[in-house]
Amino acid sequence: MRIDILTIFPEMFTGPFSHSIVKRALEKRLAEIHLHNIRDYATDKHRRVDDYPFGGGAGMVMMIEPIERCIEKLTSERSYDEVIFMTPDGDLLDQPLVNKLSVHKNLIILCGHYKGIDERIREHLITVELSIGNYVLSGGELPAALLADAIVRLIPGVLGDETSALSDSYQDGLLSPPVYTRPSDYKGWKVPDVLLSGHDKKIDEWRHEQALNRTRQRRPDLLD
């Protein structure tokens, strides 16, 4: 899996991709993430990537040319399954969508900024528009990092325990059951007896029941 991220703030990704599971996936070469500074594709001497909106109004708009040149370069080198734009008015990201994206080979993720990007980029170059929630962030970088993380952890071999992605909340349409670790009794706060029983079938049944209860209480919409 190769992910190319187009951004005007490549430094914002250093943290999220240098730790934990994503870091390990990159080190094991199970995933490649390439960051591209859109400014490097600007054509004028000021390396300009934004301009005033036609028709007036507040805020700047990201220009077509630097973004198109960057996408053009990448697509001339290999074919891409999707060109994704992170935007608050995109389709709401959920686990089934992440699952679908995780089986692809090459993805481009474009991060927007300022007031937005020239609509013609969306019309002609973007294949999928995704939102991470009904709120507005200052740019697409955090959403892109979040999407890359959600995808990369599903790539076979990335998670140590091959089954653990399957038991994530949302994967089977249910929230995850509670988990506990040592000590079994902390100042009187006790771990449910069944988890200490060593009885695998009973433990599975208990976990399923807890997952159902939790989903019913917190996210009844998932059971519809």
Which region, left, alpha or beta, applies to residue 188 given φ > 0 means left and ψ of -120 to 50 means alpha? left
Judged by CB under 6 A, does residue 140 bind ligand ADE? Answer: yes
Nearest C-alpha neighbor of 124 from the set 40, 49, 64:
64
- Structural contact between residues 86 and 132, judged by C-beta atoms closer than 8 angstroms: yes
Among 36, 88, 121, 126, binds ligand ADE (CB under 6 A): 88
The conformation of residue 222, written as its DSSP 8-state character, comes to G
Judged by CB under 6 A, does residue 143 bind ligand ADE? Answer: yes
Nearer to ligand ADE, 143 or 177 (CB): 143
Write down the least CB distance from residue 89 to ligand ADE, Å: 9
Among 8, 25, 70, 86, binds ligand ADE (CB under 6 A): 86
Nearer to ligand ADE, 137 or 191 (CB): 137
Nearer to ligand ADE, 86 or 128 (CB): 86
Q: Which stretch binds ligand ADE (CB under 6 A): 12-20, 83-91, 118-126, 153-161?
A: 83-91
Judged by CB under 6 A, does residue 66 bind ligand ADE? Answer: no
Q: How far apart, in whole angstroms, are the C-alpha atoms of residue 12 and residue 140?
A: 11
Residue 10: cis peptide before it, omega within 30 degrees of 0: no
Judged by CB under 6 A, does residue 87 bind ligand ADE? Answer: yes
- Structural contact between residues 141 and 37, judged by C-beta atoms closer than 8 angstroms: no
Q: How far apart, in whole angstroms, are the C-alpha atoms of residue 24 and residue 189?
A: 35
- Packing angle, helices 141-152 and 95-102, rounded to 10: 70
Write down the least CB distance from residue 126 to ligand ADE, Å: 13
CA distances in angstroms from 75 to 71, 78, 104, 131, listed in the order given:
6, 5, 15, 24
Which backbone phi and psi does 37 adopt, to 5 degrees? -85, 115
Among 60, 137, 203, 212, binds ligand ADE (CB under 6 A): 137
Judged by CB under 6 A, does residue 194 bind ligand ADE? Answer: no
User: How many residues bind to ligand ADE according to rule CB under 6 A?
Assistant: 11
The conformation of residue 192, written as its DSSP 8-state character, comes to P
Judged by CB under 6 A, does residue 136 bind ligand ADE? Answer: yes
Write the binding mask 96 to 135 for ligand ADE: x where contact by CB under 6 A, - elsewhere.
-----------------------------------xxx-x
Binding residues for ligand ADE, per CB under 6 A? Answer: 86-88, 131-133, 135-137, 140, 143
